[in-house]
Amino acid sequence: MNGERILEVRGLCVDYGQGPGAVHAVTAASLTLHKGEVLGIAGESGSGKSTFALASTRLLRPPGVITGGSARMYFEDGSVVDLLEADYDVLRVLRWSQVSLVLQSAMNALNPVMTIRAQLTDALAAHEREISRQERRARAAELLDMVGISSDRLTSHPHELSGGMRQRVMIAMALALRPQVVIMDEPTTALDVVTQREILEELKNLRDRFGFAIIFITHDLSLLIEIADSIAVMYAGKLVERAPADALFHAPRHPYTLGLLSSFPPLHGPRTPMTGIPGSPPDLRSVPAGCVFHPRCRFAFDRCTVDVPSLAVVGGRPDRVAACWLHDRDKPVPAEVAAPEPDEAAWAASTPGPEEPVQQGSTA
Ligand code: SF4
């Protein structure tokens, strides 16, 4: 990871449906993805994390409608393309070759009546017409080997593979054209924990080898702690916190992040009660006034019910932003969201580079 930006999303707004009944799935969200970075996006179901990732790369399908923002992709030759403005011919070239996608259910994504080899070579044939059939076959075997599956399996059909192997095939397909950005939408959710860990290890190795960036979407923050360099947390369609993974895990600054972290048991250290988050996410057709999290927040105070907090730098570190009024008042910040930062040296090693301070809340 070298801190070079590769995808810069600013003010992204996405609705499902139109008119007064439209669901505002993502509201003025801004994030930067750096070369070789694993950016985790976490949040409960319906928080907008998948919609954000799919819309910012124009992979979102109807009835999703992008209503505002930009998503600038930076290329090695110095050119820049706003994916939200690009016409379909440009997008067709960029898909798979620059941006690819791994979905949760490989069984649904793979064609059940085609062999693994046919599916891999089809993807290659669609984008690299100049290479021969023989070369495509060799490349398919190489890709399978790359994700830890023997090339004997090239002639298998998807139903002949285990869930973990099918997911690895999906990863091989996503990497076939050496994209710069791979979006992984809950890629290991349907797998047992041992297979999940194996695949995460494999992904980290592949990322180190090829240098692509990953947007890894999950509701499971504990997974992101293992793989992500930095983590963005979404709630009700808004980004509420972003930080290097280690910092977010050890010292969350937003009460919602704290709630997510309190929703899974720690594997090490003393036993601590799991408190979780009371209540449910709001109806996105009409979100609460002020801070959208206030009905569920145990720290809420008067201002939270009226004013919308903006993402702002907390603790003087430009790579840490949170949208919470607790960090913008005269009283001391509650200890739960003011834990000491983790070791400075470890942090510096894991940080992709300063995140531009972004504004989101005031536009909601
Ligand atoms: Fe809780 Fe208020 Fe912070 Fe929102 S702004 S997370 S309601 S303390």
Token pair of 257 as six digits: 């992040």
- Convert the pLDDT of each residue in 183-213 to its tens digit: 998 888 777 788 888 888 888 888 998 899 9
- Reference 62, options 10, 15, 13, 9; nearest CA is 15
Ramachandran angles phi, psi of 127, nearest 5°:
-110, -25
Residue 39, pLDDT above cutoff 90: yes
- Quick one: pLDDT band at residue 221, thresholds 50, 70, 90? confident
- Convert the pLDDT of each residue in 84-125 to its tens digit: 999 989 998 888 889 998 887 766 788 899 999 999 998 888
Atom number, ligand 1, closest to the C-alpha of residue 299: 8
Whether 295 lines ligand 1, by a CB cut-off of 6 Å, is no
Whether 227 lines ligand 1, by a CB cut-off of 6 Å, is no
Residues facing residue 120 across a β-bridge: none
Whether 235 lines ligand 1, by a CB cut-off of 6 Å, is no
- Convert the pLDDT of each residue in 228-261 to its tens digit: 999 999 999 999 999 999 999 999 999 999 999 9
| Helix and strand counts by DSSP (H, E) for the chain | 11, 12
pTM for the model: 0.87
pLDDT of residue 267: 61
pLDDT of residue 361: 39
pLDDT of residue 47: 92
pLDDT of residue 362: 38
CA distance 262 to 287: 24
318 vs 266, more confident: 318
Ligand 1 centre distance from Cα of residue 351 (Å): 26
Domains of the chain: 1-98+179-265+272-364 (3.40.50.300), 112-177 (no CATH)
